[in-house]
Amino acid sequence: MKENAKKFELPFHVVKRSTIPVWKSMLFRVIAVVAALLLCSILSLLMIDANPFKFIVTMFDGAFGSSRRIWKFAKDACVLLCIALAITPAFKMRFWNIGAEGQTLIGALAAVAVVIHGKGLPNWLLLVLMFLAAILVGAVWGGIPAVFKAIWGTNETLFTLMMNYVATGLVSYYLLLWTPSGSSVLGRLDQGHLPILGHEYLLLILLVLLLTAAVYVYQKYTKQGYEISVVGESENTANYIGINVKKVIIRTMLISGAICGFAGFLIVGALDHSVAVTSVGGMGFTAIMVSWLAKFNPLIMIGTSAFITFLDQGAAQVTSTFNVDSAFPDMVVGIVLFFIIGCEFFIHYQLKFKTREEAAIPAPIKSEKSESEGGNA
């Protein structure tokens, strides 16, 4: 037993950093992105025979190549940002709301329902009703798991996830109801369109940017925002200073759901003018990444949502230009995110290499490994 007892030892220690200057942490992130794009270029060279330089140019071309693409990029980033803004207060409270997908979808469904049942109403009234219905239904969808969590301590992750499926099911049901042909595909609604301000996406972008500022101020400068931080950091402290934790949980999730509902309203009123089970298209989950990468800071989220949208559209362009399988963009996004998240390790920890003298001291023969093996024998 003793021969194989020699332990494998890493030539370095992992040491937690106490502080890191901001420029250094930013530098690490930039290095991570550059390294990820390099790796993607190499992969593209090997797998799809594309010149790495051309690969990167195509990425940028896909996102910013024409004014139409820039508008599309800005619009997509804003919708993603809107949903990310919705989940951020909940996440800040350590309430893992992974039900933004369903909350947004149900908001969109409510907006469409208003248009379908409100035929003949003036457009402005329809829009007001759509807006109210969407945020109300979204708030209810977010509020239900919050009430269960606050009163009976249910697990919010599972609950919000399950609510997504209920929302999808409801959309399927109403689509069947609303399409007499049985096609389940709702055509473009001709009413309830948001007014066009210069460009068809401009109003949406402005509204989302306004919302960003509002959520930023709410989290940082209001009493409710402060309560969210305290509940998220330590429920014990919240109880100790007399914050009603249950109330804060429910209130925050109502807000979170309502903003999701607002995103659903924007999707119906400004973009799709319709609803389908794929209307949100996984953005409810991508938004978690946006929020998390920005450490729940709404201003930084403008950057992270733009970045993720850039990856998406750039990689989609690569797919069509080089005529490769649609799994390729997913791979690119995966690699880049892996590098970015991986670099967080180096921001929080550093490696200290052992000096030669330390490594030279022999470890005692008897080790934990040999002991446990002895026990099994």
Partner 1 sequence: MNKQIAIEMKGVTKTFGSVIANKNVDLEVYRGEILAVLGENGCGKTTLMNMIAGIYYPDAGSIFIDGKEASIHSPADAFSYGIGMIHQHFKLVDLFTAAENIILGNHSGEKYNISKVSAEVRAIADRYGFHIDPDKKIYDMSVSEKQTVEIIKVLYRGADILILDEPSAVLTPQETDRLFDVLRKMREDGKSIIIITHKLHEVLSISDRVAVLRKGEHIGTVNTAETTAEALTEMMVGRKVELNIDRPAPENVQDRLIVKNLSMTNLDGIKVLDNISFTARSGEILGIAGIAGSGQRELLESIAGLNPLDCGEIVFNRPKKNLPVSFYHKSLADVKALAAEGKFHYEDGSAVDFTGKTNAEIRALVNAGKVLFNEDDVMNLRDKTPLQIREVGVRLSFVPEDRLGMGLVGNMDIVDNMMLRSYRKGSSVFVDRKKPSDLADRIVKELEVATPNTHTAVRRLSGGNVQKVLVGREIAAAPVVLMAAYPVRGLDINSSYTIYNLLTEQKKNGVAVVFVGEDLDVLLELCDRIMVICAGKITGIVDGRTVTKEEVGLLMTKTDSDVKKEA
DSSP string, 264-315: HHHIIIIIISS--TTSSTTHHHHHHHHHHHTTT-HHHHHHHHHHHHHHHHHH
Stretches 42-50, 98-106, 204-212, 221-229: which one binds partner 1 (CB under 8 A)? Answer: 221-229
Residue from 4, 10, 18, 180 touching partner 1 (CB under 8 A): that is 18
Interface with partner 1, residue 3, by CB under 8 A: no
Strand 12-16 versus strand 349-353 pairing type: antiparallel
Distance CA 71, CA 3 (A): 67
Beta bridge partners of 199: 197
Closer to partner 1 by CB, 223 or 356: give it: 223
DSSP 119: T
Distance CA 43, CA 38 (A): 9
Stretches 53-61, 133-141, 262-270, 367-375: which one binds partner 1 (CB under 8 A)? Answer: 367-375
Stretches 23-31, 75-83, 146-154, 359-367: which one binds partner 1 (CB under 8 A)? Answer: 359-367
Stretches 70-78, 83-91, 191-199, 220-228: which one binds partner 1 (CB under 8 A)? Answer: 220-228
Stretches 7-15, 83-91, 93-101, 193-201: which one binds partner 1 (CB under 8 A)? Answer: 7-15
Interface with partner 1, residue 4, by CB under 8 A: no
Interface with partner 1, residue 223, by CB under 8 A: yes
Residue from 116, 243, 271, 300 touching partner 1 (CB under 8 A): that is 243
Distance CA 4, CA 1 (A): 6
Closer to partner 1 by CB, 106 or 238: give it: 238
Interface with partner 1, residue 372, by CB under 8 A: yes
Interface with partner 1, residue 327, by CB under 8 A: no
3-state secondary structure of 197: strand
Stretches 36-44, 196-204, 236-244, 296-304: which one binds partner 1 (CB under 8 A)? Answer: 236-244
What's the full length of the chain, in residues?
A: 377
The CA-to-CA distance between both ends of the chain, in Å, stands at 10
Interface with partner 1, residue 11, by CB under 8 A: no
Contact 137, 293 (CB under 8 A): no
Interface with partner 1, residue 364, by CB under 8 A: yes
Interface with partner 1, residue 356, by CB under 8 A: no
Q: How far is CA 263 from CA 208, 211, 305, 375, in A?
A: 9, 11, 15, 60
Distance CA 22, CA 6 (A): 42
Interface with partner 1, residue 185, by CB under 8 A: no
Interface with partner 1, residue 16, by CB under 8 A: yes
Opening angle at CA 99, ends 225 and 257, nearest 5:
45
Interface with partner 1, residue 120, by CB under 8 A: no
Distance CA 333, CA 314 (A): 10
Closer to partner 1 by CB, 190 or 368: give it: 368
Nearest distance from C-beta of residue 350 to partner 1, angstroms: 9
Interface with partner 1, residue 247, by CB under 8 A: no
Closer to partner 1 by CB, 227 or 312: give it: 227
Contacts of 213 (CB under 8 A, 6+ apart): 298
Residues of span 187-216 touching partner 1 by CB under 8 A: none
14: left (phi over 0), alpha (psi -120 to 50) or beta: beta
Residues that bind partner 1 in the complex, under the rule CB under 8 A:
7, 9, 13, 15-19, 221-226, 229-230, 233-234, 236-237, 239-244, 361-368, 371-372, 374-375, 377
